[in-house]
Structure 1
């Protein structure tokens, strides 16, 4: 945890408590619905979930109802069409093409229509990660996006054999307002289409910078943060707390709770609980002091379960750890079973080791990969000694104690092979890895990172392009899993544990353990007292 941010969080919560003391709270101990608080499981510093930072921090938890996806992942793993935003049609033919038709009344909170240019921007960012600082792997299978500027219709054309996971494109938080990006970049929205249609790095550079940095919550710019979902951002506090209010331009159903505050993990949950404003929380520890489930009058139900995401190690894409031989040597000393056990003990949720890239640990297909992943799950100290004397700096996204426990398990297993694993701390993102960027001269250059490997939760469906996770595509999936282990860009460790606390007076909170977490349907949350009001 960033100590400065933690202090600011405590001060902000203290100010909130003081303000409630001045304005008054209800005598039943609850807070007014306007003070509804939702605490995330990590500190989110951007609303752009397509950036390296946003993808690492699971910004989707905040952005899912600001910038909704074309498809919404449901609590049972299904992909639900978001027809308030768009409809889709898959065209027949050997080369997959998908036609997207945006709703005529899909509009940003500043009154600007949502058009195909917004999606063209997401496509360009996904195709040029070194320039934009993006992380949207599924765009690697897209050949082109056909868009007439200002149109409500566009077509995505996939490379031959690609696009089986097309429903994962344009997910929550990855499509942001192109007109706001253009304004920040100093070009007209009319000219943006021409710029995006080019591969001219110099013309694209200001667009990439605005797309990457313009949605920062540390430097909140209201003109950038216009949304097309049921919520919009009203303000951002000093500790990163984000006040959401209803977006009056949203054509769908209005949020049942018109105002709520989303708090980062570094905020003090006990202070919020004592103030009566913490309604929903994603927990980062198994038995927090501020919850006594056996206490009389305890308002919270606590749910713990193995999640949909996979805790994985992502290697630097440049520098020494981009070398396949070095990665393989390190992976040979990684004990996934020990890492899963450490995660289970620290989180209080029993989770299994999981070595499959292409499908999640909860997918029934996962057991059909045993012969492929089994050999990679065995510790081989002789093979690992090829990296004897090397140091690997492992950072992790978020600040959960279990991440440090998992890294300690890696240290214990790898030190036997002479490999020194160093805990580089939390709050790290993909951008902290050594990676490639496009320089001012237009050349790709290596950017030295502060870490070599990042421990983070990943969504197998959107992280790895490949066949759809269904039984009839198992042969293709198995071949792609072998290829993933051959490339070893990442190393799956274990199922991610999840824990949630929900005030019993809040209805319609549906547990979901994917990237958006509980926030996937936050616009449906409703305080019981409000629900009973005529």
Structure 2
């Protein structure tokens, strides 16, 4: 990627923006290396009686735009802390979030989109949501040398025109990319720039971006990671603008969510929600969880066990896929090499490995834009499968004798099984695949892909990905076909299989539904209602006093 720098309103690489005015006056310093915890019954402490929501992975960060956030499913935590400009909902729909911002493409110029931030959009510390927050997400995607970000579609944004502290801004896309504007600024991607800047010692984010101040941008890049790291910074000190805030983090990593006092929308249906990781379905059976987004693995309670405990079980697959993202340097510097690698991957062996490691039957995937089970996928899968069939001889002719390092989060047994299957199938092509289990902290530094590993295995939807094409999952079949062909030629990503899903919801809880996207069940968490945890008058009084 071309390095993007701004100097006095002009940006090397052809990007331009307005000079910022004074920065927002409100700034809250993030308290580092502090953990909020307490004993049962104290303010800010969890109790056994609290409503408990178990995620399939351990919460690590609330920054879903970071590389760490992607591999640890941060969007499931941040969905109602930092809800995006559009909310991924069931049916692969992107629902406008006018509580945050209204986006309007310009008449006659679909590649320019005007955004107006809601007057009521306010952080839990009282600071307003302003365009600086959106600009920070833009520079994070363009300066991957300084920010440990997962850039995606944001790389097709040429510029964000922002005056510091303003409630409106304009986004200019590369030609044709504007039709995907609904995929920008997703959950957990628009973050409090005033908090990041305060922790970084940078007085004005907009000025730092406009001038390309290298020291200021480097400091912002470090703070952009550490501020939202749940083990590094006390999350109770980091403001949110969604219906929930993090009130406390317990010693075991559990997070206590409570109502954001500055939220102007409908009050959450549950006062306090404890969010924890591990995906353990046994917690549903033993009565210590109300909603579980389960880790699909052998040895979990059966559906009959869960039904007997009063839980409804759903195994419907969504739109997320397990897949590889390849580096574009080193062994994969050329498209020829990347395409050759895809041919030594036996997807039938991959899905068999998933079945063995999880007990779940999933389908292989060869498409990058069309969502699993969609009409476009049904129409295009046969040809895509034929074009990407297992052909170790074709791989050997190009890559025979090379080694490929495949990295993946260490706490995902399914990933280990998938990489083992790839290792075996590619060995037949003379390619040595080295499985590299990485702790979440490994992704905190920029450049892990290409430096430490040649490929990364993760799970996500097509939204916000595949920036080189203009089609999205809701485009026409002909548009998606053209995009799929182009992406297959680039081979920067390698789809493998549909994500296995398993959720369990107590019969006392209503309005829970799986989006099937990166936010999972959390997309409407503030709408959940529990007869075991009714809204209390004391919470309502506190909200009114705020």
Match of 1:86 among 101, 105, 108: 101
Shift of 1:471: 7.6
Match of 1:409 among 421, 424, 429: 421
Match of 2:242 among 221, 229, 233: 229
CA deviation map 1:230-251 (0-9, x unaligned): 1111122233221111111111
Structure 2 equivalent of residue 42 of structure 1 = 57
1:230/1:255 contact within 8 Å kept: yes
Structure 2 equivalent of residue 121 of structure 1 = 136
Cα 1:177–1:261, aligned 2, differ >3 Å: closer, same or farther? Answer: same
Q: Which residues of 2 match residues 422-437 of structure 1 at below 5 A?
A: 422-425=434-437, 427=439, 431=443, 436=447
CA deviation map 1:145-180 (0-9, x unaligned): 112211111111112222221101111000110110
* 2:401 corresponds to 1:389: yes
For 1:123 and 1:512, the matched residues in 2 are separated by 26
* 2:316 corresponds to 1:301: no
Q: 1:366 is paired with a residue of what secondary structure?
A: helix
Cα 1:505–1:427, aligned 2, differ >3 Å: closer, same or farther? Answer: farther
Structure 1 equivalent of residue 173 of structure 2 = 158
Shift of 1:108: 0.3
1:310/1:495 contact within 8 Å kept: yes
* 2:72 corresponds to 1:72: no
For 2:175 and 2:306, the matched residues in 1 are separated by 60
Q: 2:319 is paired with a residue of what secondary structure?
A: strand
Structure 1 equivalent of residue 470 of structure 2 = 467
Structure 1 equivalent of residue 494 of structure 2 = 491
Alignment size in residue pairs:
496
Shift of 1:408: 2.4
For 1:169 and 1:470, the matched residues in 2 are separated by 14
For structure 2, list consecutive stretches of 5 or more residues without a partner in the other structure.
Answer: 1-34, 538-546
* 2:376 corresponds to 1:365: yes
Match of 1:58 among 64, 68, 73: 73
Shift of 1:98: 1.3
Match of 2:339 among 317, 323, 328: 328
For 2:142 and 2:486, the matched residues in 1 are separated by 21
Structure 2 equivalent of residue 258 of structure 1 = 271
For structure 1, list consecutive stretches of 5 or more residues without a partner in the other structure.
Answer: 1-11, 438-445
Tell me how large the CA RMSD over aligned residues is: 3.0
Q: 2:65 is paired with a residue of what secondary structure?
A: coil
CA deviation map 1:498-524 (0-9, x unaligned): 111111111111122210111111111
CA deviation map 1:277-316 (0-9, x unaligned): 3111111125544556247841222211222111111123
Cα 1:58–1:289, aligned 2, differ >3 Å: closer, same or farther? Answer: closer
Q: Which residues of 2 match residues 446-457 of structure 1 at below 5 A?
A: 448-449=451-452, 451-457=453-459
Structure 2 equivalent of residue 441 of structure 1 = none
TM-score by length of 1: 0.85
Q: Which residues of 2 match residues 188-267 of structure 1 at below 5 A?
A: 188=203, 191-222=204-235, 225-265=238-278
Structure 1 equivalent of residue 330 of structure 2 = 319
1:37/1:261 contact within 8 Å kept: yes
Cα 1:242–1:164, aligned 2, differ >3 Å: closer, same or farther? Answer: same
Q: Which residues of 2 match residues 175-194 of structure 1 at below 5 A?
A: 175-188=190-203, 191-194=204-207
Q: 1:182 is paired with a residue of what secondary structure?
A: helix
For 1:296 and 1:78, the matched residues in 2 are separated by 30
Q: 1:69 is paired with a residue of what secondary structure?
A: coil
Question: Bigger shift: 319-328 or 346-355?
Answer: 319-328
TM-score by length of 2: 0.83
Q: 2:502 is paired with a residue of what secondary structure?
A: strand
Cα 1:224–1:194, aligned 2, differ >3 Å: closer, same or farther? Answer: farther
For 2:327 and 2:402, the matched residues in 1 are separated by 15
CA deviation map 1:161-220 (0-9, x unaligned): 2222110111100011011011111122xx222112233323311111111221101112
